[in-house]
Amino acid sequence: MNKFPVFKSLLVAFGFILTLSCDKDYNEVGANIIGDDNFTFDKDVASTVTCYNQFDAAVQSNNLPINMLGVNDVPGFGTTTASFVTQIELASIPTLKTIVDVQKVELTVPYYSTLVSTDSDGNSTYVLDSIYGTKDANDVVTGKINLGIYESNKYLETYDEFLSFKKYYSDESSIFESNLGTIMLNDSIAVSENSQFTFSAAQQTEITVAETEAGAKTTTKVAPRMKLQLNKAFFKEKLFGTSATGKLVSNTIFKEYFRGIYFKVDAISGNNAMAALNFKNGKITINYTEKETATSTKITHKTLVLNFNTNVQGASINTINFFKNTYNNSNLPTGSVPALATTDLFLKGGSGFHSYIDLFGTADENGKIPTKDALGNYVQEIKRIKDKNWIINEANLIFTSSSTSSFNENPNRIYLYDAVNRTPLLDYYSDAFVNSSKPKYSKLTHSGIKYTENGLTKYKIRITNHIKNIINKDSTNVRLGLVVTEDINTVNNLFIKNAPTNKYYNRVPVSSVINPLGTILYGSDPNVEDSKRVKLEIFYTKPN
C-alpha cells in the first residue's frame, strides 16, 4: 500500500472526520466517496458471531455507587422489587443534657433530578432522572409503593473472616427482614409517606432550627427528595434513653448500637414505581430541646444529624441493595454458566441476565478464541480477511431488540467488554469524547446507545480497534461480555453468587447491577431474520 501515499492520507483524513462527527445516524463508511479506480470500498457481514446467555440469580450488591428503591415491571422478564439497608453515623458527637424532649424527626434522601426552570420567587420546577413505573397520559410516573422504614438489628460487617472486604448479595433480604425492629418508623397518618408512597418531582423545603433558646427557624428551598416524618418516641428512647448511655461517644460504638435503617418495599396491585436515590446524601435530622434539670427554665433547641454517608471522622458506611425478581417468561435461561443462545439474547440489570459474544470462532472453557490452529496456521475466519489485504476502516457489532418494550422502555445503552480480563475494549479507551453536562452520554463513538431504524430499536457498538488488533496484530481473541448499563463511565465488576471462583464468568459489571431495565435482543441463530440477526459489520478498502 505504500505505492499510494496520497490516497492513504485521504483515508486518514476521512477517518478523522468520522471520529469527530459522532453521527447518531451512523452513515456508512465510504457511502459518499468517489473511489480511486485502484481501490474498492465495501462492507463485509460474513464473519461468524456466536452468542451465549447467562442467568445471574444473585449478584454482589453492597456499597453500590447508585441504589434503586421500589417496584418495576420489566417487559419480557417480570417484576423486580428493590429494598435497601444502610448503616448510619453521627454527623457530630453530641454533648447531652439530662432532660431531652424530641420535637421532630425527619428522614430525607435526595432524588436524582434535573432543574427545568426557576421563577422570580425562587420556585423551581424539576424532572426526576432514573425513575420507572406506572405512568399517566403525560408520561409522568405516578405509581405507588408500600414503603416501611425499620431499624435494622443485623450488623453490617466491613470485613469477612479472611480480612477481605465482605460481600453481600442481592438475594439476602430475608436475613435482614428477620432482624428488623418491631416499630415501623414512618408511621405518619399521611399515607403518602408509607402505604401509598409516591416519588414526587416537587420542590421541597428544608427547615434549620438555630441552636438557641429561641430556636429560630430558617427555611431553604431544595431539590426533590424523599421526606418522611419518623416516630419521635422511638428516637427519644434510642438516642437519649438509658440504653443509649455511652453509645454516642464515637461512630464505631454508635454503629454497633444502632445498626442501621432498612427501607422495606412491597408492591401495590396495579401500581409500581422505582427510582434511583442519592442515599449517600441521605440523613435523619432530630430536632430536640434540652435543659439541665426538670425544674430548669432555660431550654435550648438542638439538632442531631445521622448521616447515611461517611462523615469527616472518616468512618465507613456499609449499604446493600436487595432485588427480588418474579419472572413470568418461561423462555428465560436458567443456567449459571454461559449457554449457547438460540434466537434471543437476554439482558437485564440488577440481578438478572447477561450475554456473551464470540467473534471468528468458538471460545474454549477459559474464554479464549484461537486465531491459529495447532500447526500455526491462521484459522479460516481470520485467514479469509488477511488474505484479501483489506484496510479495515470501521467495525461495528449491531444488535436489534426483539423486546415488546417501547423505544423509551428499552435500556438507553448496552456495554460490551472483554469478559476474560473483565476490562473495557480498546475502543472504549481510545474514545476520548466526554459529555460534561450528561456524563452518561460520553464515549459516543464507541457508543452502544439505542437508536431506531425502520421502526426497530437497535444498538451499535463500534469495535474498530479491537478487530484491527485481532486481524493485523495477532492480538488474543477473547469472549466478549454484553450487559445493560446505567453509566458508561463505571466499568468495575462485582461477583455473581455461587459462580465458580476460578472462571471468567463469575462476575458482572457494576454498571449492569445498578440498572433496573432489561431488553431482549435477536441472536445469531440462522433462523433469525437476516435484517434482525446480530452482525459484525466490517467496512474496508481493498486493492483491485
Amino acid at 191: V
Q: Which region among 144-148, 175-179, 259-263, 401-405 has the lowest average model confidence (pLDDT)? A: 401-405
pLDDT over 70 (residue 4): no
pLDDT over 80 (residue 544): no
- Using CA atoms, how far apart are residues 252 and 315, in angstroms rounded to an integer? 8
Quote the pTM value: 0.90
In the block, cell 477481605 appears at 164
Q: Return the pLDDT at 36.
A: 56
- What confidence tens digit (pLDDT) does each residue in 452-497 have? 999 999 999 999 999 999 999 999 999 999 999 988 999 999 999 9
Length of the chain: 544
Q: What is the DSSP letter of 190?
A: -
pLDDT over 80 (residue 26): no
Q: Return the pLDDT at 20.
A: 40
Mean pLDDT of 498-502: 89
- What confidence tens digit (pLDDT) does each residue in 54-92 have? 999 999 999 999 999 999 999 999 999 999 999 999 999
In the block, cell 464473519 appears at 47
- What confidence tens digit (pLDDT) does each residue in 84-108 have? 999 999 999 998 877 899 999 999 9
Q: How far is CA 254 from CA 91, 181, 245, 414, in A?
A: 11, 17, 11, 42
pLDDT over 90 (residue 218): yes
The per-residue pLDDT of the chain, averaged, comes to 90
Count of other CB atoms within 10 angstroms of residue 223: 17
CA angle 373, 379, 382 (to 5 degrees): 145
Cα 131 to the center of its chain, rounded Å: 12
310 pLDDT tier (thresholds 50, 70, 90): low
What share of the chain in percent tops pLDDT 90? 79
